[in-house]
Amino acid sequence: MLSIVVPCFNEAETIPHFVAAVDAVMTPIAQEIEYIFVDDGSKDQTLTILQELNKQRPQEIHYLSFSRNFGKEAALYAGLKNAKGSVITVMDADLQDPPELLPQMLDMLQNEHLDCVGTRRKNRTGEPPIRSFFSKAFYKIINQFSDTEMIDGVRDFRLMTRQMVDAILEMTEYNRFSKGIFSWVGFKTEYIAYENRERVAGETSWSFWGLFKYSLDGIVNFSEAPLMFASFVGALSCLGAGIALIFIVTRALLFGDPTSGWPSIVSIMLFMGGLQLLCLGIIGKYIGKIFLETKKRPIYLIREQSEVITEVSKDE
């Protein structure tokens, strides 16, 4: 059986299109499927639509509904945790992940002995140029800094074996960055490239600022390079200060000390103070992450879920 995990945040408009499109692809190849929709604290009619779908097809369409918005990463985790299939896929509800690729992905997974078939966008048409620019910069930076490889344009849309999903579920960290997690667990992965699509309806829930914070999180979660940077800059300025000190002392001994230049001292002090604050900020960012991890808070909280999911897990 194939489980389709779909995180949904205010996707009332797109879910019906999504189910129709996936059904149209899966029915001809007679693949048994289950949908796991995760309503990530939507404010629109998403939950009502999911309840409706579940009433119509209780065996195939399941849903979980969070008590508030926990973010896509938490929704993915909850969905994967509740998926019962031997093959599992994660897809966005907005049809930016083309379901037409699923048969080919299933075929590759089985015949090429892979653990995962991922997807990659060939281009970023339809995306604001400034967003593309920053995305590209993000991938350059993170691949410089992190040991976990992240390929530009890779989507979360991927088909995975049960074994790989179990590995992902073992990563119970609170600060989740899925792109890093998928890559960190390893396993044999191949990518299919496709042309970028625009969403069928609704609007993206990502603001520019949101994406910026997301990419900073990605770097902090999967790299210690910023900490290295702080020590490096600290060591460098120590060295600089040492050399300057020797120079000044020698000069004073040889030529006396005509007092002048307090502006330069003030600038240097301000520069050093700023540098220290920057480094403290970097360290603080990591401590903040540790703080959240040590609280061991649940990654998500469910307010409501479709009946069948609990029944199935009781059967096991």
Residues of the shown chain interacting with Mg ion in the complex, contacts defined by CB under 5 A: 92, 94, 96, 199
Contact 177, 105 (CB under 8 A): no
- For residue 11, the minimal CB distance to Mg ion (Å) is 9
Query: Of the two residues 200 and 275, which places its CB atom closer to ligand UDP in the complex?
Result: 200
State the Cα–Cα distance between residues 80 and 181, nearest whole angstrom.
Answer: 13
Q: Which does 180 bind (CB under 5 to 8 A by kind): ligand UDP, Mg ion, none?
A: none
- For residue 204, the minimal CB distance to Mg ion (Å) is 6
Pairing of strands 154-161, 116-121: antiparallel
Q: Angle formed by the axes of helices 15-26 and 46-56, to 10°?
A: 30
Query: Of the two residues 88 and 93, which places its CB atom closer to ligand UDP in the complex?
Result: 93
Query: Of the two residues 14 and 223, which places its CB atom closer to Mg ion in the complex?
Result: 14
Q: Which does 69 bind (CB under 5 to 8 A by kind): Mg ion, ligand UDP, none?
A: ligand UDP
Q: Which does 205 bind (CB under 5 to 8 A by kind): Mg ion, ligand UDP, none?
A: ligand UDP
Q: Which residues pair with 37 in a beta bridge?
A: 6, 63
- For residue 119, the minimal CB distance to ligand UDP (Å) is 13
Q: Which does 71 bind (CB under 5 to 8 A by kind): Mg ion, ligand UDP, none?
A: ligand UDP
- For residue 35, the minimal CB distance to Mg ion (Å) is 18
Query: Of the two residues 206 and 271, which places its CB atom closer to ligand UDP in the complex?
Result: 206
Please name the residues in contact with 73: beta carbons below 8 A apart, sequence gap of 6 or more. Answer: 176, 177, 178
- Taken in order 142, 147, 153, 158, the sign of the CA dihedral is negative
Q: Angle formed by the axes of helices 208-222 and 225-255, to 10°?
A: 80
Which residue has tokens 């790989």?
164
- For residue 94, the minimal CB distance to Mg ion (Å) is 4
Neighbours of 227 (CB within 10 A): 15
Query: Of the two residues 13 and 94, which places its CB atom closer to Mg ion in the complex?
Result: 94
SS3 4: strand
Rule CB under 6 A: which residues touch ligand UDP?
7-9, 11, 40, 69, 71-72, 75, 92-94, 96, 199, 204-206
Return phi, psi of residue 138, to 5°: -60, -45
- For residue 231, the minimal CB distance to ligand UDP (Å) is 35
Query: Of the two residues 94 and 115, which places its CB atom closer to Mg ion in the complex?
Result: 94
- For residue 35, the minimal CB distance to ligand UDP (Å) is 13
Query: Of the two residues 202 and 234, which places its CB atom closer to ligand UDP in the complex?
Result: 202
SS3 64: strand
Contact 191, 154 (CB under 8 A): yes
Neighbours of 197 (CB within 10 A): 14
